[in-house]
Chain A
């Protein structure tokens, strides 16, 4: 049995990428296995944990719940696309380091995506709004305390509106 392949073009971290993919290939598997953008992680594959969060046209979504073919014609930002153009850490990434808003790093990519989406829409969120924004991202290491502190710090340092 040979699977039918579908042509797609997706703008990933500012670069148009074309591919021919089977219909059942999830977006996260395409990003990780084909494009080798392994910063996006797989945690539950049923849309709960948020580790695979990416931005699709600027909105945070679960890349395990979308097929690669569904991303055709859209714009994707992964954690690899959050750094500044010269490759240095973004204000948000740097704030996570400053507040130690992570431990094992596995859920961190998804949290960064959720936080960047929040700050792009609301540059000065309250703590309650921060918790709301990361409420769909499970973290087993941090108890969220230093994550909230990191996002608060990033907001103070003007981290909003930097994603492509």
Chain B
């Protein structure tokens, strides 16, 4: 299939306003008379609030309000939770007790942020410290301190899924291994913190909200918590979001600011400072360990897999337990593994709550899985690539249904692996590594092969909570052609750098054969919007792209119908080219784009009877694989499309300091048809960089006494241009049979396989020493400690075994 605009190198629609400094982020929204919020945070991981004295703060210059949990919780409802745990209530402000260090206790509103901060320091809170639990394994112990005593347990969700004859596979297999892999608590940490501004209009009884969001059902949840009808909350989606990659939810911030704006009758804004963001912004990502068991034969055939995953969501829940559910949809990765046991446990501790992070739990799972593959190869003395090649699903096996009931749409995994290996010149890379080793260095090659499920519905909610039957997960687009013949696409959500305006313009331009550069894309607000579920789960190329194409096709059909009516012929007799319609075989019988548009808008006497005048069409599309409920065994299809990535990375480690340096990096990537290759590549590069951070640097570290030790960019280390090397992406294209143009999702690409590949490279480098490391991040100190252990004992050991 050849396209006019899809897949071509084309400039984006968004970039010019950003390079001019003319983006409009929430911190740029200045409402007349706007007041500013500063927060008082708990210093204790667990405590009873004995008293809060606000008089001194209220007396401070410019202060309008000091709000505490007592008033706030009485007048708003608890935020929604993704699993069935109604006693795990959550508000923006603590009431009675605090459950993590950094939890907000009071909000101060003043004329300026500086005055609000001054006054926040004058709020006197008296605490009676309570026992707390920080370690997730301790939290699972009988008799552990309960984070939410009313819930009766620290476990939010636990289930053992068994798909296929797992025990039989483990009995009959010739070999078995078991190990623990640990994924450290990190997050996407956008450079823009979360922010929200709100304004209540007493005349219209409506709350206007501008927020830095990427969140499904955000207006609905805001209205519910504020006890307002849905149509009393208007969220403005034309706010540029300064990065999100999953975490920009900010629902608690929004309910707080919405409440304050309504209560005070003044516009109110909260922009987190960095410490508030890191400690109390509730945006930490998965904090997870895996107990992995693999059963396999001597020839490398993998027969079965057992995964126990324990995820520490912190002190409150939200949707975070569901990050253990997405991996169900790709539980055996890109491999043919006939029997899988999966035992997820979501546990609470007295730490900052977890939020959705790029991949929604898939990247940690891929890391554990790819460490398992490398460990199997090492156990057998088999080449890691040969082992993967043997077990990867073959091109002719698609569509392929895995034991957990999900069907992979398409792929050519072997071709992508071959391309990646060729691009890095793998034989030469092996020689380079071996030469470095002979020279006394520590050098390793890492490989990972994994999947990106994309475009799905939200049925992990249903899988983890039988009381929830949400299977609809649509997206929509409205396309208008105005009197001048100009085309406008209307989308219904905010964006955080994914280039959705370019996506809509490209797709609409493709269908209508009109130049995308001349197509404008705007955003409705939540009261004028068609339904959308926001850009989560790598869904927009599929769902918004599909909706925009669907609306444009209806416009094209309308143009053809108008021409057929005027030529008194059938639509089949007509030809459409660049917006003009002519009679087949008689090109002089033609109605131009401009003429057709004029008829549609001005000449009802030339319109087919019954056709709506004007030229605008909406298209609301649901997930192409539908929305079935899970089977009793928990088999389910959530995502229609599966992209594939193969990472090859070369790492050298400084023996004296433990510092790893990534010398070469290639990623083979197949996400089907790319709408705009620059955008896909950009997100993939960024995903790899994010993965480098997760693998080597980034951690929300907690002290034993429950304090966040990495709350600034001095200690929470985001990779810079020094740590991220030159990256090379090799494209491959296996179209999806399920989508409009063969596209698959790709917003999480790179991040899904990078930590696994880097972990495998570091372990390959350490292998000659007989030590291994299966705990992320692999900090310099942690790697150095492994090297030192090898030197001290001279005998093989492994880190997990030590604990």
Contact = CB atoms under 8 A, between A and B. Distances in A.
B496 A97 contact: no
A143 to B, nearest CB: 3
A32 B22 CA distance: 12
Contact of A106 (B188, B243, B750): B243
B14 A105 contact: yes
B16 interface: yes
Contacts of B682: 100, 103, 141-142, 145-146
A25 to B, nearest CB: 8
Nearest to A81: B21
B80 to A, nearest CB: 27
A94 B679 CA distance: 17
B380 interface: no
Contacts of B689: 140, 142-144
A93 B16 CA distance: 8
Interface stretch (B341-349, B445-453, B714-722): B714-722
Nearest to B118: A1
Contacts of B681: 100, 145-146
Interface string A23-59: 0110000001100111111111110110100000000
B27 A42 contact: yes
Contacts of B777: none
B245 interface: yes
Interface stretch (B67-75, B189-197, B400-408, B781-789): B189-197
A127 B725 CA distance: 11
A63 interface: no
A83 interface: yes
A89 interface: yes
Contact of A104 (B20, B22, B192, B274): B192
A108 to B, nearest CB: 5
Nearest to A108: B18
A119 interface: no
Interface string A133-153: 011111111111111100000
A156 interface: no
Contacts of A45: 273-274
A12 interface: no
A105 B720 contact: no
Interface string B10-27: 011011111111110101
Interface in B434-492: none
A102 interface: yes
A41 B499 CA distance: 20
Q: Is the interface of A mostly helix, strand, loop or mixed?
A: loop
A39 B21 contact: yes
A97 B720 contact: no
Contacts of A137: 720-721
Interface in A91-117: 93-94, 96-100, 102-109, 112
Contacts of B11: 97-98, 100
Contacts of A106: 23, 25, 190-192, 242-243
B626 to A, nearest CB: 32
Given A44-B712, A135-B721, A143 B191 contact: no
Contacts of B21: 37-40, 78-80, 82, 109
B733 interface: no
A134 B721 contact: yes
B699 interface: no
A45 B240 CA distance: 20
Given A97-B11, A105-B14, A39 B721 contact: no
Contact of B19 (A25, A43, A93, A134): A93
B726 A127 contact: yes
Contacts of B690: 140, 143
Nearest to A37: B21
**Residue from A1, A32, A41, A127 with most neighbouring chain B CB atoms (10 Å):** A41
Q: How large is the interface on A (under 10, 10 to 19, 20 to 34, 35 or more residues)?
A: 35 or more
B718 A105 contact: no
Contacts of B15: 96-97, 100, 102, 105
B750 A143 contact: yes
A42 B192 CA distance: 7
A107 B240 CA distance: 13
Given A78-B21, A96-B15, A103-B497, A48 B686 contact: no
Given A105-B497, A106-B25, A89 B191 contact: no
B685 interface: yes
Contacts of B575: none
B633 to A, nearest CB: 39
Contacts of A33: 30
**Residue from B22, B679, B720 with most neighbouring chain A CB atoms (10 Å):** B720
A33 to B, nearest CB: 8
A35 B641 CA distance: 48
A97 B722 contact: no
Contacts of B271: 42
B542 interface: no
A53 to B, nearest CB: 12
B242 A41 contact: yes
A131 B455 CA distance: 35
Contact of A39 (B22, B245, B498, B686): B22
B734 to A, nearest CB: 24
A33 B16 CA distance: 23
A140 B18 contact: no
A136 B720 contact: yes
B377 interface: no
B540 interface: no
B25 A100 contact: no
A104 B497 contact: yes
A104 B16 contact: no
A39 B189 contact: no
Contacts of B23: 39, 105-106
A83 B16 CA distance: 11
Given A42-B27, A97-B12, A103 B498 contact: yes
A28 to B, nearest CB: 11
B513 interface: no
Contacts of A134: 721
Nearest to B677: A100
B685 A146 contact: yes
A93 B499 CA distance: 18
Contacts of B568: none
B724 interface: yes
**Residue from A33, A46, A106 with most neighbouring chain B CB atoms (10 Å):** A106
A108 B28 CA distance: 15
Given A38-B27, A46-B714, A51-B191, A93 B20 contact: yes
A21 B393 CA distance: 66
B241 interface: yes
Contacts of A103: 243, 497-499, 679, 682-683, 686
Nearest to B273: A45
B50 interface: no
Contacts of B273: 45
A92 B140 CA distance: 55
B727 A104 contact: no
A80 B273 CA distance: 24
Contacts of A99: 678
Given A103-B683, A104-B497, A146-B682, A140 B245 contact: yes
A162 to B, nearest CB: 14
B713 interface: yes
Contacts of B244: 104
A49 B737 CA distance: 43
Nearest to B24: A38
Contacts of A40: 21
Interface of A: 1-2, 24-25, 32-33, 36-46, 48-49, 51, 78-80, 82-83, 89, 93-94, 96-100, 102-109, 112, 127, 130-131, 134-148
Given A144-B685, A146-B682, 7 more contacts: A24-B114, A41-B191, A102-B497, A131-B722, A138-B713, A143-B686, A144-B720
5 contacts: A1-B61, A33-B30, A46-B712, A100-B11, A143-B688
3 smallest beta-carbon distances between A and B, as pairs: A39-B21, A105-B18, A104-B497
